[in-house]
Amino acid sequence: MELGPVEYAVIAFPGSEFSGRIVPALNDLIRQGTIRLIDLTFITKAPDGSVEAFELDALPETITTAYDALDGEVSGLLSAEDIADLAEAVPPGSSAAIVVWEDSWARSLAQAARESGGVLVTRETVPHEVVQAAVAVLESGAA
C-alpha cells in the first residue's frame, strides 16, 4: 500500500479533561479524504511530571462519548518510547491528544516523487503566529 506523508501533532489542553471539540474537525478532514487517521493517543501529565497514556478505548465513557463519531481506524502505531518523547513538550498539569495521520491528499505526489528518484530534503510547518504576522503586514500594505 502506498502511503502519503505521515505527520503527527501533540495538542495540549489545560487540566485533564478531553472535551472532544477537535472531533468534528478531524472527521471533516477524514471524510473529505484529506487525511487518514492512523493513531490517536491521549496523555495526562501530572504536576510532578509523571505521564499516563491512554488509547481511546481505555478512557472513561464520559470522555469517549465525544469521540464516538470519529470516523477512521486507529492502529496504536505509537510506541511507549514515542509517547514518552512527545510528552516532554506537554506542560505539567495538562493533558494532550497525540494525533498521527497520513496526508492522503499528497499520496499520489509522494508516490510520483519516489518513482522519479525524488527525495524530500526539507519540510517545515510554519507556526500560525508567523503566518498571521506576515498576512497582517501584507494586508497593511507595508510589504
Query: Which three cell numbers, joined as nine digits, stand for 64?
Result: 469517549
Higher model confidence: residue 103 or residue 71?
103
Closest C-alpha to 98, from 109, 82, 122: 82
pLDDT computed for residue 67 by the predictor: 66
Model confidence at 82, pLDDT cuts 50, 70, 90, reads: very high
Tens digits of residue pLDDT in 5-48: 999 999 999 987 777 788 888 888 988 989 988 888 999 999 99
Tens digits of residue pLDDT in 109-126: 989 999 999 988 988 888
pLDDT computed for residue 59 by the predictor: 67
Q: Based on the number of CB atoms within 10 Å of its own CB, is 81 exposed (0-12), middle (13-18) or buried (19 or more)?
A: exposed
Tens digits of residue pLDDT in 125-136: 888 999 999 999
A 10 A CB-CB count for 38 gives 20
pLDDT computed for residue 76 by the predictor: 73
Q: Measuring CA to CA, how many Å separate 130 from each of 21, 95, 115, 126, 139?
A: 25, 25, 34, 7, 14
